[in-house]
Chain A
Amino acid sequence: MKTPIPLVTFELPAEARSVGTARRWLRAFAGEHGGGPELQDRVGSALTEALSNTVLHAYAAPEVGRIDVAADIEDGALEIVVVDDGSGLRASTSDHRGAGMGFGIIASTADAFAIRERVPQGTEVWLRFELGAG
């Protein structure tokens, strides 16, 4: 019999308090499956950026959209997907706190990442953290 893959999924409203909630849950999930404090910190940093992007930029006020999050443990790594059905990246050359969205922090904290456009709309951010790396 195959061992089930550890998996957690949840849906949250795209609002500020959801960032801390998701971060707390997924840090705990990482810790339960062998992720040490350094890895948990990196998970927290990357998630904060990915989720903040969605909260701040994916949906036009007053709409409160949703964020779907899934995480599992596969091949010795924690993989997380953050999905929204918002408007995606938008050009903004003047708003320096705006649309570029902290992806650089994600790039520097996750062991691998991907940013995928969704059809008909939305963005999917995929993160991978090697559990043996801290």
Chain B
Amino acid sequence: MDAPQPSQPGVGGPGARLPDERIAHNETLARSVNEAIEAGRVTRDGPSPFVCECGQLGCNAVVELTLSEYEAVRAHPRRFVLVAGHEAHFDEVVADGGDYEVVVKHGVAGRIAEQSDPRAERSS
């Protein structure tokens, strides 16, 4: 199956045009999943699987990063890790990891990402 083409405004999966707020909500859910995956890792060496943090409906893709690479993403509340090509119109690609890319979110999605950052909640 070909990957959906997410680089269109309002992407939400094939045929869907989700509002930015909804996409941002889906992305923050994926981030919470990855935080749970990282917390549950026993093996700390080598690449670990993480879910794609794009907001597309039905995206279940998994990417591999080392934990230090993942921590570098999580160090910034507006940064997310996606399968390459899954960025939305409000995403700016700031790092290319090959199969994955790191984006920083702008606009309302960026604000939602920052307000819901679980690490900010933990450190406050």
A contact residues vs B (CB 8 Å cutoff): 88-104, 106-108, 113-119, 124
Bound CA span A95–B2, Å: 8
Bound CA span A113–B118, Å: 14
Given contacts A88-B49, A103-B33, A96 and B40 within 8 Å (CB-CB): no
Bound CA span A107–B59, Å: 15
Other contacts beyond A96-B3, A97-B60, A107-B32: 10, CB < 8 A: A88-B49, A94-B3, A99-B62, A100-B60, A100-B61, A104-B26, A114-B36, A114-B39, A117-B41, A117-B42
B43 at the interface (CB under 8 A from A): yes
- Residues in B27-82 with C-beta less than 8 Å from chain A: 29-30, 32-33, 36-37, 39-43, 47, 49, 51-52, 58-64
Q: Is the CB of B99 within 8 A of A93?
A: yes
Q: Is the CB of B4 within 8 A of A115?
A: no
Q: Is the CB of A93 within 8 A of B40?
A: no
B61 touches which of A95, A114, A115, A119 (Cβ 8 Å):
A95
Q: Mark B67-107, 1 if CB is under 8 A from A, else 0.
A: 00000000000000001100000000000000110000000
Bound CA span A119–B99, Å: 27
Instruction: List, in ascending order, chain A residues with CB within 8 A of B30's CB.
Output: 103-104
B16 at the interface (CB under 8 A from A): no
Q: How near does chain A come to B90, taking the closest CB pair, in angstroms?
A: 19
Q: List 27 A-B contacts (CB under 8 A).
A: A89-B37, A91-B49, A91-B62, A91-B63, A91-B64, A92-B61, A92-B62, A93-B3, A93-B83, A93-B84, A94-B3, A95-B1, A95-B60, A95-B61, A96-B3, A96-B61, A97-B1, A97-B58, A98-B60, A99-B49, A99-B62, A100-B61, A101-B60, A104-B51, A117-B40, A117-B41, A117-B43
Bound CA span A100–B53, Å: 10
Given contacts A91-B63, A96-B61, A115 and B99 within 8 Å (CB-CB): no
Q: How near does chain A come to B1, taking the closest CB pair, in angstroms?
A: 6
Q: Is the CB of A115 within 8 A of B37?
A: yes
A115 touches which of B1, B36, B43, B63 (Cβ 8 Å):
B36
- Chain B residue at smallest Cβ distance from A56: B60
B62 touches which of A93, A104, A108, A117 (Cβ 8 Å):
A93
Instruction: List, in ascending order, chain B residues with CB within 8 A of A114's CB.
Output: 36, 39-40
Instruction: List, in ascending order, chain A residues with CB within 8 A of B42's CB.
Output: 116-119
Instruction: List, in ascending order, chain A residues with CB within 8 A of B84's CB.
Output: 93
